[in-house]
Amino acid sequence: MKQSRFEQSHQHEWQAFDDTLHALEQGKARQAQGLADLPAAYRRVCHHLALARARGYSPHATEHLQQLAQRGHQQLYRHRSPLASRVLGFLLGGFGRLVRAEWRYVLASSLAFYLCLIGMGALVLAYPDLVYSVIGPEQVREMEAMYDPDASRLGRFGERSSGDDWVMFGYYVMNNIGIAFQTFAGGLLFGLGSLFYLIFNGLVIGAVAGHLTGIGYHQPFWSFVIGHGAFELTAITLAGAAGLRLGAALVAPGRHRRADALRLAAHRAIRLIAGATFFLFIAAFIEAYWSSMTFASPAVKYAVGTALWLSVGLYLMLSGRTQHAPE
């Protein structure tokens, strides 16, 4: 069956299912039409989604059905599954499936961030004074003090005792989550805000990396960032992907009104930023309790950091592949 005929045959049913879900999401269960038929309607939508995928229909058609299936699943099971089990299920499988489903936005976000980071780092290595076009002289001096090879604790301005690690953990959490949510919320400016923050953060991190490498502080700097960077930098790109998801819904809403397209996109974008936040908590813990330590040799830190990068990559590529619940 051609896609156009398939959509025409079931459009009324999908719209009725969408209206029922919208009423439930707004807390208006009494006003929801077709509430008694919700389980059956949900199964039919899942069947239509499987057909659309098997027949190779356009991403727009399958994405709309996938959104309906996801929302239906949430409404059907929200009172049947404890919060802890839903969170665990998301972290063990749902998050990885979601990232893979949104690979286009993840790829665009990663390219914007890492190309700026690598490019600025290379430029600062070639032209050292260029660092001052991105970072002020006072900040440059602070960075040099934080990664001085003779420092007893890396990545910190001034000397702190190990008892202050929990303070630094809190600081890293708040700072990193602030950056991630800033990048995410920028998507509401038709995606331009997310692109700006991805490019800006890429340029700043690249400038710092290039400057510290150029002055001979490469060993303490890279051994410090390689561990927590696996989670922190990945989280930034995922936050950017979530923001770009919102922006795309506003720029190209398709057959939906912009408000409806934004609402549909937000279901996935919010879950992406939730997973990114989880990554940032892990990054903050590693940064506070491992990255700053000097008792481990650089070789050990590089080995641990490489293992963490591989773990993040394998987690995002493989987790949830044996589960078939709707996204």
DSSP 153-187: STT-SS---GGGHHHHHHHHHHHHHHHHHHHHHGG
- Angle formed by the axes of helices 192-214 and 165-185, to 10°? 140
Per-residue pLDDT at 83 exceeds 90: no
Per-residue pLDDT at 290 exceeds 80: yes
Tell me if 278 sits within 8 A of 232, measured CB to CB: no
The sign of the dihedral angle between the CA atoms of 108, 111, 114, 120 is negative
Q: How many CA atoms lie within 13 A of 96 on its CB side?
A: 19
pLDDT for 171: 74
Which residues lie below 8 Å from residue 227, measured CB to CB, with a gap of 6+? 286, 287, 290, 291, 301, 304, 305, 308
State the greatest distance between any 2 C-alpha atoms of the chain, in Å, as a whole number. Answer: 72
Mean pLDDT of 214-222: 93
pLDDT for 161: 47
Predicted TM-score of the model (pTM): 0.73
C-alpha 61/C-alpha 51 separation (Å) is: 11
Query: What tens digit of pLDDT does each residue of 140-171 get?
Result: 998 998 888 876 566 555 444 445 666 777 77
Q: How many CA atoms lie within 13 A of 67 on its CB side?
A: 21
Over the chain, what is the mean pLDDT?
Answer: 87
Mean pLDDT of 262-275: 92
C-alpha 278/C-alpha 287 separation (Å) is: 14
Neighbours of 90 (CB within 10 A): 18
C-alpha 315/C-alpha 309 separation (Å) is: 10
Mean pLDDT of 7-16: 87
Tell me if 180 sits within 8 A of 113, measured CB to CB: no
Give Cα 163 to chain centroid, integer Å: 31
DSSP 245-299: HHHHHHH--TTS-HHHHHHHHHHHHHHHHHHHHHHHHHHHHHIIIIIT-SSS-HH
